[in-house]
Structure 1
């Protein structure tokens, strides 16, 4: 009987939780300046937000993960929003002749997927790895080499 009310409730909880991630990232995406620097800061912020949730609020994170499993549409919309933010940064990098790629949406999705280990909930247990920042730096160098003009 209450099942019909649970899905909208789960979706609303997941959406609110995910909004706490996307809002500060949107501010970075909308800034002016070097696209390379903004893109790096955007991903560092994403990693920081996810790491804080996993390490500082493990029980809440576990609850969110369970809710997110049921709110796949909300989660996909969140991912689409994040990729769009990355695409906006990439597009500005193309306009400023910083990036050599031609399709900002394709590049954004590829960069997002290349960094998934550092922000996806499925990899939450890895976020406390003492080498995670070093690993990200290595992946980041490869990502930037694929995007930047003259690299």
Structure 2
């Protein structure tokens, strides 16, 4: 193990952990592997993350936050609510599809990690539902959408489009008709909430 000259930070540890996960997978990656990749002792890693589970939860959150950040930019944008909702749903599908297609080994690893870290996934989903709620409320306030029960409507939109963002369906996202199927579902959702 060569000594490192860079300061060991949680971000460096998480970046190294992601690389170790990519190489070894969730089942075989260890804290010792992460420490070795950083050129430090495993005790140094444990100073920042008390347990392997805590480290795996943090790297899972970091991975999910990439999607949340992209979607936050859309939710906070200046588009009219109907365009913003379409854009947000499309950005969610695109982000998930790219994660699955661009790095399938890492996607498979994170699929395992998300099942281990349900509280991290629950927080991620809550944040996505919060963004969706803001878009829906803006549309209602502007008279574009009807949603007598905002919470139920947001949950219904999220569930109606789950086929295009739940990793369980990842193998179907590359089908030639996936985009057309997505557009059809979004059109149906939009018709369901448009002000009549």
2:72 paired with 1:20: no
Map 1:38-49 onto structure 2 (within 5 A): 38-49=84-95
Alignment length, in residue pairs? Answer: 148
Matches of 1:6 and 1:14, distance apart in 2: 12
Structure with higher RCO (Cα < 8 A, 6+ apart): 1
Report what 1:131 is aligned to.
177
2:146 is paired with a residue whose SS is coil
**CA offset digits 1:68-102 (Å, max 9, x no partner):** 11000000110111011001000000000000112
TM-score, normalization by structure 1: 0.94
* 1:129 counterpart SS class: coil
Kindly state the Cα deviation for residue 103 of structure 1 after the two structures are TM-superposed.
Answer: 2.7
* Root mean square deviation, CA, Å: 1.3
Structure number having the greater helix percentage: 1
1:5 aligns with 2:57: no
Q: Say whether 1:106 aligns with 2:149.
A: no
After superposition, the C-alpha distances for 1:86-143 in whole angstroms (9 at most, x for unaligned) are 0100000000000011232221111011000001111110111110111111111110
Structure 1, unaligned runs of 5 or more: none
In the alignment, structure 2 segments of 5+ residues that lack a partner are 1-30, 32-49
TM-score using structure 2 length: 0.73
